[in-house]
Structure 1
Amino acid sequence: MGAAENRTEALRLIDTIDESRADALMKGAVDLHVHSGPSVMARQVDHFQAVEEAAAAGMRGILFKDHHYSVAPFLPIMERVLGHHGVAMYGGVVLNNTVGSLNPHAVDFNLKSGARLVWMPTAHSLNHIRNTHRKSRLATNVQLKKPVAVTVLDARGDLLDECKEILDSIAEFDAILSSGHLHIGEVWVLFEEARARGVKRLLVNHPMYGLHCTADDVAELVRMGALIEQSACLYVDSRFNYFTPEELREHIDAAGPAHSALGSDLGQVDNPSPVEGLKQMIRLCLALGYTDEEVKLMVQDNPARIVGLQ
């Protein structure tokens, strides 16, 4: 099926689930993948609006992701203005060209500024750029200079020294390491070294989209201790819809609900808002036969645990 057919089928299933059931599961939800603004990419909500909409839905926390800068240093100001909403706010840093790519100094600064997550390169990873050349729907950066492609491996396939230094910082602050948009062949080497250096919080975003993971890869990543996040934008009524509802079931089952998280990966214009997209994802999962308790694990408990929200 194409994207239009995928969206039609997703909406048909979503409409079989009463909205109030999803509303109940949104209360306490934690979204670790919110693309709000300001950004060089067009966003439909800014960071303040994202918090306000999350609060209105009864959500417990959100983590802001921009491909080019970290929201983490601004969180104390945002907490002063928005703290009364009771939504925990988190930031992280993506190791793209705009922060110096695999830059231990940028990681050190952001972790000391309160960042909870370090993403490996996304839009500027070698794997991402190769995918974009093949006209995938991975994010592009037409507003910025042509990127220098980044890989975490040297010519022999070993992890670069600067990446090892970054892993040591992540371990020191007990922060989350995300695979970003690296190829699964890079992720194996990265995660093995990360575990050896004491990194305890491993996250994989949309493993079957762009990272070239198989179901067997996902099962092995789970055995390494990784949490597997599925992006709502790839399955719901979104212009980024790429997979069928049946494929969503396959992707979640590869890890199991106990090791899965649901993130919106939304905030772009002409898409559902992060809150609406996550709610659609909840209804779709319920329609696919997951229990309320299993969905609660994926949308509340597991993301809260990995971000350290007790």
Structure 2
Amino acid sequence: MASGTYRQEARELIDTIDDEVANALLKGALDLHVHSGPSTMPRQVDHFQATEEAAAAGMRALLFKDHHYSVAPFIPIMDRVLGHLGVAMYSGLVLNNTVGGLNPFVVDAQLKMGAKLIWMPTAQSANHIRSSHGKTRLASNVKLKPAPGITVIDAYGNLLDEVKEILDLIAGSDAILSSGHLHVSEIWTLFEEAKKRGVKRLLINHPMYGLHFTYDDIAGLADLGALVEQSACLYIDSRFNVFSPQELKEHILAAGVERSSIGSDLGQVDNPTPVEGMRQAIKLCLALGFTEDEVRLMVRDNPARLVGLPVE
């Protein structure tokens, strides 16, 4: 079925839910997957605009992600200017080549500057490069220097020593570890070692998109303690839509509502804004039969626990 058909199906379901119901659930929600700018990629909102829009919707927190730099060192400045809006702001570091790859020294410095989350490689992971076959939705405005694909395991399937060191740094800071765009086989090795080394906060982003997960993998890694985040942009009225509404339900249920969350994964041009994406995702979940309490768990309570905020 074409993505355009999925978008139409999503629109029709979204339109069955009243705005007031969705807006009430948006209050207190967290979006831990915001792609605002500046960036090497086209963005429709910057970090300040994303925060202002979230505040207007009554949201509790945002986490900014860029594939090629960390917003974390700028959070204190943003908090000085926008702190009165009452939106908690976080960021972290994606371990692509553009920030030094699997470099413990960079990770150490970023964690000490307040990074809340360390993502394994995304656009420059070996899995992403293989899976995209030269085509990617992570296109930049500028041509970046070609970069080799990064893997976290050696030729024998063992985790690299530098990755183990990074895991120790994450554990020591009680930060969040995200699997990035690694292959699911790498993620199992990574997360099992992370647990042994004391990493308590594990996050998987869009498991069924480009990471080669099965439903059993989702369930198994959720049982290991990972929070499984579904990207709203892949299911709603977005140009990135590749899944049907029913697949959203199946993907959530594979992990269980108690181990699931929703992030917008938005901020790109010609797409809904992050806040609108979250609103549409809330409506779509309700239309699919999830209760208000279940939606609240996925957009408010579970992500709050992940970043260490008290559940209100």
* TM-score > 0.5, shorter chain as reference: yes
> What letter corresponds to residue 85 of structure 1 in structure 2?
L
Give the TM-score of the pair, scaled to structure 2.
Answer: 0.98
What does residue range 98-137 of structure 1 map to in structure 2 within 5 Å?
98-133=98-133, 135=135, 137=136
Q: CA deviation at 1:138?
A: 4.2
Corresponding residue for residue 305 of structure 1: 305
Corresponding residue for residue 241 of structure 2: 241
Which runs of structure 1 show a deviation greater than 3 angstroms over 4 or more consecutive aligned residues?
none
8 Å Cα contact 1:34-1:264 kept in structure 2? yes
What does residue range 1-310 of structure 1 map to in structure 2 within 5 Å?
1-133=1-133, 135=135, 137-141=136-140, 143-310=143-310
> What letter corresponds to residue 35 of structure 1 in structure 2?
H
Task: Figure out how many residues of one structure are paired with residues of the other and give that number.
Answer: 309
Show structure 2 runs of 5+ residues with no match.
none
Q: In the TM superposition, what whole-angstrom CA distance separates every residue of 1:56-112 from its partner, at most 9, and x where no partner exists?
A: 000000000000000000111111000000000001000001111001011101100
Q: In the TM superposition, what whole-angstrom CA distance separates every residue of 1:122-154 from its partner, at most 9, and x where no partner exists?
A: 00000000111164x542346211121100000
Distance across 2 between alignment mates of 1:202 and 1:139: 24
Cα RMSD after superposing both structures = 0.9
Q: CA deviation at 1:261?
A: 0.3
Give the TM-score of the pair, scaled to structure 1.
Answer: 0.98
SS at match of 1:202: strand
Distance across 2 between alignment mates of 1:175 and 1:90: 11
SS at match of 2:208: coil
> What letter corresponds to residue 149 of structure 2 in structure 1?
A
8 Å Cα contact 1:119-1:179 kept in structure 2? yes
Distance across 2 between alignment mates of 1:128 and 1:150: 9
Distance across 1 between alignment mates of 2:130 and 2:2: 22
Distance across 2 between alignment mates of 1:105 and 1:30: 30
